[in-house]
Amino acid sequence: MRNLDEHTITQAVLARNAQPDNERLREIMTSLVQHLHAFARETHLTEAEWETGIEFLTAVGQICTPQRQEFILLSDTLGLSTLVTAQNHKKPEGCTEATVFGPFHVQGAPSFDLGADISTGLPGTPWFVKGQVRDIHGAPVPHAVIEVWQADEAGFYDVQKPAGVAGDYQGRAVLQADAYGHYHFKTIVPECYPIPHDGPVGKMLEALNRHPWRPAHLHFMIVSPDHERLVTHVFREGGEYLDSDAVFGVRSSLIAEWQRHEPGTDPYGNPIDQLFYTLDFDFVLNPRSR
């Protein structure tokens, strides 16, 4: 194939890609090439702009480490993560909605008994969280595995702190609901935070006059053998940034009241000399499709 020009190049690439062993790969690459080429045509992309794009993607790759996932941030801030999540988790009415996974989940979080303080020494306002895991018919889902992770009162996850400051894990835990689907634990109230914005994605947001902030939230991942895995957050009613989340993750059904209480007695019946918050949030799992 020679003398390809702006009118013939797309078809030539598609023809060259036409014979992979994997049919799904062929489908995805065909669509990707068509959309990339259409984008360059539609915008009349200049060589300088194309180089800027290459430099940007290079910087996105170069800043990535096992602790820093800039490509997830890019996908999140462009709404791609929310699109992929939404189209892969269409559920019956009544099921808890899923939202973005984010880059701050880590494998190997410690297991705690129900009722434990999972903040492991983080300073902050005490927060008592409880609820029930149920199925679509309202029956309890026994013994679901519930993983939680959260930012601290300054808006930082443990993995964002210098090694040794946070210990191994803080503000993350694996719990198991009881036989009636109930779960409960103690932690501290997490605050709003800006997504990491000292890299290329931060520069992109700045160039677009966008802020990097996320509304306060608590992450949950709930796993039970007969149900679809649920990855979601619970957001704070009345909190800032609910309508301008930098990563487009807010869903009305995931906003709940984080109730404020005066000092006195905590939900476990223990005396408490500072104000504290409680959250009561139930989850409804979607049956696994067979």
Q: Which residues sit at the interface with ligand BEZ, rule CB under 6 A?
A: 73, 76, 100, 102-104, 195, 214, 247
Residues 100-139 that bind Fe ion (CB under 5 A): 102
User: x-or-dash pattern for Fe ion, window 58-97, by CB under 5 A?
Assistant: ----------------------------------------
* Residue 268 CB neighbour total at 10 angstroms: 10
Question: DSSP per residue over 121-182, as a string?
Answer: T--S-EEEEEEEEEETTS-B-TT-EEEEE---TTS--GGGSPTTTS-S-SSEEEEE--TTSE
d(CA 99, CA 220): 10
For Fe ion, the closer of residues 102 and 126 by Cβ is: 102
Angstrom distance (rounded) from CA 41 to CA 19: 26
Binding partner of 100, given Fe ion, ligand BEZ, none, CB within 5-8 angstroms per partner class: ligand BEZ
Q: Taking the complex as a whole, how short is the minimal distance between the CB of residue 102 and Fe ion, in angstroms?
A: 5
Closest to Fe ion by CB, 102 or 131? 102
Identity of the residue, 13 or 254, whose beta carbon is nearer to ligand BEZ in the bound complex: 254
Indicate the DSSP class of residue 253: G
Please, which residue, 141 or 231, has the CB nearer to ligand BEZ? 231
- Asked if residue 250 lies in contact with residue 243, where contact means CB atoms within 8 angstroms, the answer is yes
Q: Which does residue 158 touch among ligand BEZ, Fe ion, none (CB within 5 to 8 A, set by kind)?
A: none
| Rounded least distance, CB 87 to ligand BEZ, Å | 18
CB of 267 to Fe ion, least distance (A): 24
CB of 241 to ligand BEZ, least distance (A): 12
Nearest CA to 280 out of 142, 129, 133, 138 is that of 129
The set of residues, in sequence order, having a beta carbon less than 8 Å from that of 5 and lying 6+ positions away, is none
